[in-house]
Structure 1
Amino acid sequence: MSDASFDDGREAPLNLGALSAEDLQVVASLAQDAVFPVTEISWRPTEHRFALLLNRFRWEDKDSAEKRGRPYERVQSVLVVDHVLSVASQGLDRRDSDLILSLLSLTFEPGTDGDGHIVLTLAGDGVIRLAVEAIEITLRDVTRPYQAPSGRAPQHDET
């Protein structure tokens, strides 16, 4: 009998929160390369809440999948940003219900007193910019993982 390893741990859905720029970097790394239809963007001004239903690549499982020779996975996740004062976007047509977007990065541009902008950079020069009173973001998996349709991990050019 051998000691348990990290790979033997129980799989559990992600449920993460971010309350600082440092926390946001963790959420951003897990949400990178998520894809979602433009129809899954929700902005509720009276609740000061912005949300996306993402098909997230499971970066946290990539090494295990490679090591065990099993397919890469995606999972549907909800990304919620609270304390949102306004939303602006460019480079995407919300009226095109067939439009699929890909999230490249999620960053914070600080303001003067904890406020600032959360910027979602999308493939194809699209950007969504959220003016926020403070950083409060959650990323929560809402389905079981499924095999990534492409069968590949997302690739990034090293520059």
Structure 2
Amino acid sequence: MAASKAPPLRLLAQDAEDLAIISAAVQDAVVKLGDISYEPKARRLTLAFNRYRWEAGGERVRSGLQLGGVLNVKSRKLKRGVKDAVVEILAVTFEPGDEAPGGCIVFSFAGDADLKAEVECVDAVLADVSEPWPTPRTPAHEV
């Protein structure tokens, strides 16, 4: 199967509605825990993953998602010491905080795990960084 001609994604989110579009694009992406990096001094959280290209179907692409203005990061049910452990992203959502425009960006993973980034505001960038490659498996979810 030849790679599609769909252009690489380059998305910017500056509010919860924008983040919902990024969430749809990264649904079913698989990420190694070692490819999640939080840089406190730079106030930046970066995830690198293999994204299923729903817009092209039948292929994956290497992508990165970076959040700016990150104040703190907390995880639940993620084995942080196991760098090769792979998790699947189900959704990325924004929970408003006490003072707008701040709040938490929540990454929900399969297996009831999550990662919460406390942010000053929604400042997220998603970019495809490789050529896509075919995959025989289309992600599926139980109803």
> Structure 1 CA distance, aligned partners of 2:33 and 2:81?
8
Query: Deviations 1:29-51 (Å, cap 9, x if unpaired)?
Result: 00001001111001011111000
1:108 aligns with 2:94: yes
1:28 alignment partner, SS class: helix
2:55 alignment partner, SS class: helix
Unaligned 5+ residue runs, structure 1? 1-8, 63-71
1:52 aligns with 2:52: no
1:39 alignment partner, SS class: helix
More strand by share: 2
> Structure 1 CA distance, aligned partners of 2:87 and 2:107?
11
154 and 10 in structure 1: CA distance in 2 versus 1, 3 angstrom threshold = closer
1:88 aligns with 2:74: yes
Pairwise CA RMSD: 1.3
Rg (Cα) greater in structure: 1
> Structure 2 CA distance, aligned partners of 1:97 and 1:135?
27
1:157 aligns with 2:114: no
**TM-score for both structures, normalised by structure 1:** 0.84
> Structure 1 CA distance, aligned partners of 2:83 and 2:16?
32
Report what 2:63 is aligned to: 77
1:59 alignment partner, SS class: coil
Counterpart of 2:6 in structure 1: which amino acid?
E
Report what 2:125 is aligned to: 138
Instruction: Answer yes or no: is the 8 Å Cα contact 2:6–2:55 preserved in 1.
Output: no
1:43 aligns with 2:26: no
More helix by share: 1
Report what 1:65 is aligned to: none
Pick one of 22, 43, 47 that aligns with 1:27.
Answer: 22
Counterpart of 2:36 in structure 1: which amino acid?
I
> Structure 2 CA distance, aligned partners of 1:35 and 1:77?
10
> Which runs of structure 1 show a deviation greater than 4 angstroms over 4 or more consecutive aligned residues?
none
Query: Deviations 1:71-108 (Å, cap 9, x if unpaired)?
Result: x1000000001110000001011111221111011000
